[in-house]
Amino acid sequence: MTPYDYCYFDWGQGDPKREPLNIGGFSPLEKVYSYDPMPKGLAPEEQKYILGAQANVWTEYIGTPEYLEYMTFPRILALSEVMWSSTEGKDYKSFSGHLPYQFSRLAMQRVNYRIPEPDDLTDFYTATDDHIVVNLSSIVPHSQIYYALDGSTPTDESARYQTPLQIPLEMNQKRVLNLIVVTPSGRTSVVYGATFLRRSYLDAIQDASEGQAIWKPSDDVWNLVDITEHLYWAEHGGILGMWKTLYAIRSGKVERTLESKHKELSVDEIVKRTWQAKEKVPAVAAPRMGGTLIFWREALASLQAPLDRFGEDLLPDELRLQAHPHPISGPLDFHQRLEFLAFHLQRHEGQALALVSAQKASA
pLDDT digits (tens, 9 = 90+) for 316-346: 888 888 887 888 888 888 888 888 888 888 7
Strand, helix or coil at 352?
A: helix
Task: Choose which CATH entry (1.20.120, 1.10.10, 3.30.450, 1.20.1740) describes domain 210-362.
Answer: 1.20.120
Contacts of 237 (CB under 8 A, 6+ apart): 284, 285
- So what's the architecture of 124-199 in CATH? Sandwich (2.60)
Strand, helix or coil at 148?
A: strand
Q: Are the C-beta atoms of residues 123 and 357 closer than 8 Å to each other?
A: yes
Q: How far does Cα 11 stand from its chain's mean position?
A: 22
- Say yes or no to pLDDT of 15 above 80: yes
Residue 14's CB: how many other CB atoms inside 10 A? 18
Q: So what's the pLDDT on residue 256? A: 63
What is each CA distance from 60 to 12, 113, 149, in whole angstroms?
13, 19, 36
- Say yes or no to pLDDT of 57 above 80: yes
Whole-number average pLDDT of the chain? 89
150-158 average pLDDT score: 94
Q: So what's the pLDDT on residue 349? A: 77
Side chain identity, residue 115: I
pLDDT band at residue 257 using 50, 70 and 90 as cut-offs? low
Strand, helix or coil at 13?
A: coil
What is each CA distance from 20 to 14, 186, 243, 284, 348, in whole angstroms?
9, 19, 57, 47, 34
Q: So what's the pLDDT on residue 363? A: 60
Of 301, 337, 331, 334, which Cα lies nearest the Cα of 320?
A: 334
Strand, helix or coil at 163?
A: coil
Q: So what's the pLDDT on residue 276? A: 80
- Say yes or no to pLDDT of 198 above 90: no
pTM of the model: 0.64
pLDDT band at residue 258 using 50, 70 and 90 as cut-offs? low
CA pseudo-torsion sign 153, 103, 80, 94:
negative
Name the DSSP class of 333.
Answer: B
Side chain identity, residue 37: P
pLDDT digits (tens, 9 = 90+) for 169-196: 887 788 999 999 999 999 999 999 998 8
Q: How far does Cα 94 stand from its chain's mean position?
A: 21
* Percentage above 70 pLDDT, the chain: 96
Contacts 24+ apart (CB under 8 A), 265-268: 265/336, 266/339, 267/336, 267/339, 267/340, 267/343, 268/343
Q: Are the C-beta atoms of residues 157 and 132 closer than 8 Å to each other?
A: no
CA pseudo-torsion sign 79, 84, 88, 90:
negative
The segment with the largest mean pLDDT, out of 54-63, 193-202, 248-257, 275-284, is: 54-63
- Give CA–CA dist 8/24, Å, rounded: 11
Q: So what's the pLDDT on residue 103? A: 96
- Give CA–CA dist 174/181, Å, rounded: 23
Cα angle vertex 154, ends 66, 123, to 5°? 95
Q: In the chain, what are the domain boundaries?
A: 4-108, 124-199, 210-362
- Say yes or no to pLDDT of 9 above 60: yes
Q: Which residues of 287-302 are buried (b: 16+ CB within 10 A; e: fewer)?
A: beeeeebeebbebbee
Please list the residues that pair with 148 across neighbouring strands.
Answer: 178
Domain 210-362 in the same topology as domain 124-199: no
Contacts of 48 (CB under 8 A, 6+ apart): none
Strand, helix or coil at 188?
A: strand
